Structure 1
Amino acid sequence: MRLLASTSVVATVLALALPAAAQVLPTTASETPAERTARRAAMTPPVLLEDAALQAAVTSSTRPAADVARDVYRHPVESLTFWGLTPGTTIVEISPGRAGWWTAILKPYAEATGGQYVAVNNPAESMVVADGTADMVLVARAFHNWHRAGRTAPFLQAFHKALKPGGILAIEQHRAIEGTNPDQTASTGYVSESYIIKAAQDAGFVLEGRSELNANPKDDRDHPYGVWTLPPVRTSAPRNGVATDRPTPLTEAERAQYDAIGESDRMTLRFRKPA
């Protein structure tokens, strides 16, 4: 399993996550090399603690084998590091689903580091946590559904209200070609980055980072049963009541072709609630 896609990117994000005291190493002209070595040795860099806890959660034997097999596409260590996950935080996952792919990592991580993991299925009803107490809200592969139901704006407002000042909104989403209309692409599972960025900014968030960690140039988005044609869902025949589906099942060769693409091309975005 590839754990770090870009050492420089990870190092930069982790540096941003460090407390100010850990980032600054004051020195004076009168300090001897031995004194400087002793002072630095006395520090406990949170980077090492964070890496150990996150690595342990991702490599845990309790994770389902099917989940682990998807790490090559979803890059859990890199993605969570990019989003700025740190020990002891309150993490709210939106609509984790029955499979709970992120849940199997985030919940043990929170428990191991003294944090809190919260799953929220209907943000319109309750965010579960008190207003202004969440450190991170994670949304994975949900905006296409929300757009069709007119829920994008109210849900983002709920996230903003739940987060602390300075809190992070982390987004992973199937990515449509830029310039396309979400009214036309959402039914296939894809929406554009600009659509999400504008919606988040309208809710009061500031875009802090964009990553290509989960990009897949092999995904041309032209699939007979939408994004669900691709792994892990692997829809291979028309679904009842879905008018846009091709009326005939995939052939064996077509199934192999879509499996070879892998999982979708996805945007990976980090927003912050202004302090």
Structure 2
Amino acid sequence: PPKADPQEEKKKAELAKLAEDTKAMEAKADQEAARFDDALKAEVKALVAANHPSAGAALRAALKGKYRAPGNAERDAARHPVETLEFFGLKPTSTVLEFGAGEGWYTELLAPVLAKKGKLVITSFDPNGPADSRNTLYGKRVKRMLEKSPDLFGKVDVVVIDRDNPKLGLEGKVDLVLAIREAHNWHRSGKFDTYVAEAFKALKPGGVFGVVQHRAKPDANPDESAKQGYLPEAWVIQKVESAGFKLGAKSEVNANPKDTKDYPEGVWTLPPNFRLGDKDRARYAAIGESDRMTLKFVKPAR
């Protein structure tokens, strides 16, 4: 028999995995939609309608919510959302742009805080894109997340971007741009500078670009470390400042000195991904989530 083309075989395996992952995502989304019963809907309505004295108070109320996707609250201790967003200067009146909402860990906290007096804009890939593209799956996942609760997400604006040409069309409209555990993807796709330039353009003068990123060892080569999910902090600062930003402040709120940054499956070896499954799971659980830089960049006022 003719020898199978290894490239063809690889493509076939990738498509089969994509179909399997899409099916799993849809099943999970159906389950989530079904979870939003009258009690949860009432909780969300009350949360969105409440008057809180500050973004921190609103966030603390949101953190206690039963509406949050299962498992999300378990990540609070590692991700410090209140401290992180307060450090970036979030206000209930802010216009916020969140890059790469993923499964909505931050989106579900930001949406109720900003629903009344602010604005939340998130980026997504096209949910109606090519069926053989993983980005289409990511776009569908965001769409399903937003659809599960119109009360929570009804006011969220979605900017559909092309991964290879990520244009936002938001000149000078935004107070705070968030790139949380996202910058390694930008570098891997060769579009780091493009994304940072779009963030700069979108912000008002004096606006903040908040970056949380898995932190590589200082001497790491970013081209290599990005494949593992990590980037060197000095490199990130230099790249972002060369786009016109000024580093306003750094925080160690998301630091983790136990992270040795040298795992078989990169940062995804650690929780919450545990890509190696049960292999050495207790060891990786004891390390915890990754060591992260938390950087507050400012777009200079004119």
Category of TM-score, reference length = shorter chain? 0.7 to 0.9
Match of residue 255 from structure 1: 281
Identity %: 45
Match of residue 208 from structure 2: 168
> Does the aligned pair in 1 maintain the 2:250–2:294 contact within 8 Å?
yes
Match of residue 18 from structure 1: none
Match of residue 30 from structure 1: none
Match of residue 115 from structure 1: 118
**Greater helix share, 1 or 2?**
2
Whole-angstrom CA distance in 2 between matches of 1:197 and 1:258: 29
> Does the aligned pair in 1 maintain the 2:55–2:113 contact within 8 Å?
no
State which structure, 1 or 2, has the greater radius of gyration over its C-alpha atoms: 1
Match of residue 20 from structure 2: none
Whole-angstrom CA distance in 1 between matches of 2:86 and 2:54: 13
> Does the aligned pair in 1 maintain the 2:166–2:195 contact within 8 Å?
no
String of CA shifts for 1:90-110, please: whole Å, max 9, x gaps.
11000111x111101011111
Aligned residues: 213
Match of residue 207 from structure 1: 247
Counterpart of 2:296 in 1: which secondary structure?
A: strand
What aligned pairs does 1:6-155 form with structure 2 within 5 A after superposition?
Answer: 48-97=53-102, 99-112=103-116, 114-121=117-124, 122=161, 124-127=165-168, 130-155=170-195
Give the AA of the match of 2:167.
S
TM-score (norm 1): 0.74
Whole-angstrom CA distance in 2 between matches of 1:159 and 1:50: 22
* Distance change (3 Å), C-alpha of 1:185 and 1:125: closer
Whole-angstrom CA distance in 1 between matches of 2:55 and 2:100: 25
Give the AA of the match of 2:224.
Q
* Distance change (3 Å), C-alpha of 1:192 and 1:86: same
Whole-angstrom CA distance in 1 between matches of 2:79 and 2:276: 22
Picking from 246, 265, 268, the partner of 2:294 is 268
* Distance change (3 Å), C-alpha of 1:51 and 1:141: closer
* Distance change (3 Å), C-alpha of 1:56 and 1:222: same
* Distance change (3 Å), C-alpha of 1:224 and 1:234: same
Picking from 229, 238, 245, the partner of 1:189 is 229
Could you tell me which runs of 5 or more consecutive residues in structure 2 were left unpaired when the two chains were aligned: 1-50, 125-160
Whole-angstrom CA distance in 2 between matches of 1:207 and 1:269: 7
Aligned-residue CA RMSD (Å): 1.8
Whole-angstrom CA distance in 2 between matches of 1:49 and 1:134: 19
Q: CA deviation at 1:262?
A: 0.8
Counterpart of 2:72 in 1: which secondary structure?
A: helix
> Does the aligned pair in 2 maintain the 1:120–1:126 contact within 8 Å?
no
Q: CA deviation at 1:50?
A: 3.1
TM-score (norm 2): 0.67
Match of residue 149 from structure 2: none
Give the AA of the match of 2:113.
Y
Give the AA of the match of 2:294.
T
Counterpart of 1:259 in 2: which secondary structure?
A: helix
The structure 1 segments of at least 4 consecutive aligned residues displaced by more than 4 Å after TM superposition are none
> Does the aligned pair in 1 maintain the 2:62–2:112 contact within 8 Å?
yes
Verify: 1:216 aligned to 2:221, yes or no.
no
Q: CA deviation at 1:263?
A: 0.4
Whole-angstrom CA distance in 1 between matches of 2:287 and 2:256: 8
Whole-angstrom CA distance in 1 between matches of 2:196 and 2:244: 9
Q: CA deviation at 1:216?
A: 0.5
* Distance change (3 Å), C-alpha of 1:47 and 1:268: farther
Match of residue 240 from structure 1: none
Counterpart of 1:66 in 2: which secondary structure?
A: coil
Q: CA deviation at 1:143?
A: 1.4
Match of residue 271 from structure 2: 231
Q: CA deviation at 1:56?
A: 1.7
Whole-angstrom CA distance in 2 between matches of 1:169 and 1:47: 24
String of CA shifts for 1:18-62, please: whole Å, max 9, x gaps.
xxxxxxxxxxxxxxxxxxxxxxxxxxxx99433322222222221
Whole-angstrom CA distance in 1 between matches of 2:275 and 2:55: 38
